[in-house]
Amino acid sequence: MTVPVGRSVLVKVPATTANLGPGFDTLGLALSLYDELTVTVREAAGAFVEVIGVGAGEVPTDESNLVVTAIAHTFRAYGQPLPGLHLVARNSIPHGRGLGSSGAAIVSGIMAAKGLLEGVVEIDAQGLLALATEMEGHPDNVAPALFGGLTIAWMTPEGPRHKKLIVHRGVSPLVCVPETTMSTALARSLQPSSVPHEDAIFNVSRSALLIAALIQSPELLLAATEDKLHQNYRASAMPETDALIRVLRTHGLPAVVSGAGPSILVLCSDPAARLVAADLVARNSDTPWQSLMLAVDFKGATVVPHPVEALA
């Protein structure tokens, strides 16, 4: 069987924030900010991409686009020929700011391929995570993008694994997004290859506490979001982020670097605290920051037939 011309799918993928302070390369959280993608099989060979919103005029619009690369990777992994494709990407997730934009693009492509290949081959949840991790290099962003909620991700000899947890309803995320960007590769290059024994113990205890805080006891979030593994080492590359986090935490607000930064994640224990946090950022920053009051996304990535196909 081959994918018929005219088949069309609609994909929706949430933004994600990884690490959450102490949970470096392990913990991730899906947020209610989304990229949407429509992919339609066309007769002409190759791929053509229209980008609306974030990345318009900046990201590639041909086969080198990361979403197309992810679709092609999935088709190849399942031994299927790649058809001609027309993509329309409506992007809302900021690029290069620690909100999982590359992971969202990869997951968008893999989910689009899953939808296009329905009835030809079936791709289960483990297959989706394996493909996404293969492309992203680590599962901490792609796991919550795929499955939603709070995810713990780890690697085994058989491949990546994950556990999804439901976040306490009192947890109210705020993301503060600057105009500047940050390279994940640069952020990683600033970390040492080894850390002191006591710092490792510190982060193990805080990571365990963070799980309890997020699913049961939000009042513990300030202590639970302390970190000694990565944020201090990266601070020199994003001094304003570091300074604002210190201000927020001094005022009792659980602020951390979102992913590789430079955005700031504040895991407030009630919605009103987000207003306080946003005001502190506005009053203490020298450059413009956008404050996004988001919810935790519990659904993760979705793919459905596009109406064009449904009505055909």
Same domain, 73 and 217: no
* Same domain for 78 and 142: yes
Looking at the structure, do residues 101 and 160 belong to the same domain, yes or no?
yes
Statement to judge: residues 117 and 184 lie in one domain: no
Q: Say if 54 falls within a structural domain.
A: yes
Same domain, residue pair 24 and 144:
yes
The pLDDT tens digits for 52-67 are 999 999 999 999 999 9
Examine the domain organization and report whether 122 and 234 are in the same domain: no
User: Does 229 reside within a domain?
Assistant: yes
Do 303 and 154 fall within a single domain? Answer: yes
CA quadruple 20, 136, 178, 285: dihedral sign: positive
Does the residue 3 lie in any domain?
no
CATH number of the domain encompassing residue 305:
3.30.230.10
User: Which pLDDT tens digit goes with each residue over 213-224?
Assistant: 999 999 999 999
Q: Quick check: is 1 in a domain?
A: no
Six-digit token pair at 299?
């659904």
| Binding region | 94-104
Q: Strands 47-53, 84-91: parallel, antiparallel or unpaired by DSSP?
A: parallel
270 is a domain residue? yes
- Whether residue 218 contacts residue 168, with contact meaning beta carbons closer than 8 Å, is answered with yes
The structure tokens listed for 231 are 């944020």
Residue 88 lies in a domain: yes
* CATH number of domain containing 262: 3.30.70.890
The reply to whether 86 and 187 lie within a common domain is no
pLDDT digits 0-9 by tens, 254-264: 999 999 999 99
Query: Higher pLDDT residue, 271 or 31?
Result: 31
Q: Give the pair of three-digit tokens for residue 150.
A: 């709070």
The secondary element (H helix, E strand) that includes residue 253 is: none
**Domain shared by 13 and 151, yes or no:** yes
Q: 116 lies in which domain range? A: 8-165+297-310
Identify whether residues 55 and 159 lie together within a single domain: yes
Give pLDDT, residue 187: 66
pLDDT digits (tens, 9 = 90+) for 74-113: 999 999 999 999 999 999 999 999 999 999 999 999 999 9
Domain count, the chain: 2
Based on the fold, state whether residues 258 and 305 are members of the same structural domain.
no
Known binding positions for ATP? 94-104
Predicted TM-score of the model (pTM):
0.93
Q: Indicate if 186 and 252 belong to the same structural domain.
A: yes
β-bridge partners, 88:
38, 50
Q: Determine, yes or no, domain membership for 190.
A: yes
